Chains A and B, each alone.
Chain A
């Protein structure tokens, strides 16, 4: 059994695929909206050096990533240990040598990585126009504007993903999440840019 099949098996016996998916969307959404908020804040502010914007956004991305990993690991480890204990009580057996014990050790790590990498990866994608400009690549439009468009596209795609999971209209779900992002943008504009 290769590592991916094994990981899938462990997620399957603990019924954790849904949890990992939920964490991916929830924290990915967090990452996208945080970056959107920060970039809009810089956009509405007086001219700021690009390196300051990048450093501030990267700092927030790393913090979101570390927060995602640590919080999910601590909570999932406790949940998995509790589930294993309950199963051992029902089985009247020590399951330390079983796949369930292995799952109790590895599933929290897998879920923590999903929870931490989702906001970090999404933030880096949103920041890519800023990073490219900083590296000397000339973009046809302002990197901040391009980053805002990327953030809105990613939020829309997360909604599409949710719609497909739920088996409902992907367009409706995508528009709903996009509406949330636009509402956030309007609020930021009202508080910082007006």
Chain B
């Protein structure tokens, strides 16, 4: 099974929800995940984030869904780490 272990994303989002709430919402949908959010640029109504997510298995569609629900827009996938794990 190809498992996505780590992704680094470039995300644009409104100021609210803030980075902490955004980070918590992402972490809440992926079990055992570590989410790291860095605010790169702040505009009048928006801010650009570098979002790094690490977990045993990342459901990317779910991640993207949460980003959209929180009002964010995925601009690019900057880093990906996947692992081909033997089926148990």
- Are B71 and A13 within 8 A (Cβ)? yes
- For chain A, residues 128 to 158, give those with C-beta under 8 angstroms from any C-beta of chain B: none
Interface size on B, residues (CB 8 A): 16
Chief secondary structure at chain A's binding surface: helix
Stretch of A74-82, A94-102, A111-119, A169-177 with 4 or more beta carbons under 8 angstroms from chain B: A94-102
Interface size on A, residues (CB 8 A): 16
B14 contact set on A, CB distance < 8 A: 13, 87, 90-91, 100
Q: Select A97's contact among B12, B17, B43, B69, beta carbons within 8 Å.
A: B69
- For chain B, residues 36 to 86, give those with C-beta under 8 angstroms from any C-beta of chain A: 43-46, 68-73
A9 contact set on B, CB distance < 8 A: 17, 21
A92 contact set on B, CB distance < 8 A: 73
- Are B69 and A91 within 8 A (Cβ)? no
A93 contact set on B, CB distance < 8 A: 12, 73
A51 adjacent to chain B (CB < 8 Å): no
B13 contact set on A, CB distance < 8 A: 91
A164 contact set on B, CB distance < 8 A: none
Given contacts A12-B17, A91-B12, whether A99 and B45 have CB atoms under 8 Å apart is no
- Are B73 and A99 within 8 A (Cβ)? no
Minimal Cβ-Cβ distance residue in B for A96: B68
A14 adjacent to chain B (CB < 8 Å): yes
Given contacts A90-B43, A91-B46, A93-B73, whether A98 and B68 have CB atoms under 8 Å apart is yes
Minimal Cβ-Cβ distance residue in B for A15: B16
- Are A98 and B71 within 8 A (Cβ)? yes
Interface of A with B (CB < 8 Å)?
A: 9, 12-15, 86-87, 90-93, 95, 97-100
Interface of B with A (CB < 8 Å)?
A: 12-14, 16-17, 21, 43-46, 68-73
Q: List 15 additional A-B contacts (Cβ < 8 Å) besides A12-B16, A13-B16, A98-B69.
A: A9-B17, A12-B21, A86-B45, A87-B14, A87-B45, A87-B71, A90-B43, A90-B44, A90-B45, A90-B46, A91-B13, A91-B14, A91-B45, A91-B73, A99-B70
Sampled A-B contacts (15; CB under 8 Å) = A12-B17, A13-B17, A15-B16, A87-B14, A87-B45, A90-B44, A90-B45, A91-B13, A91-B45, A93-B12, A97-B68, A98-B68, A98-B70, A98-B72, A100-B14
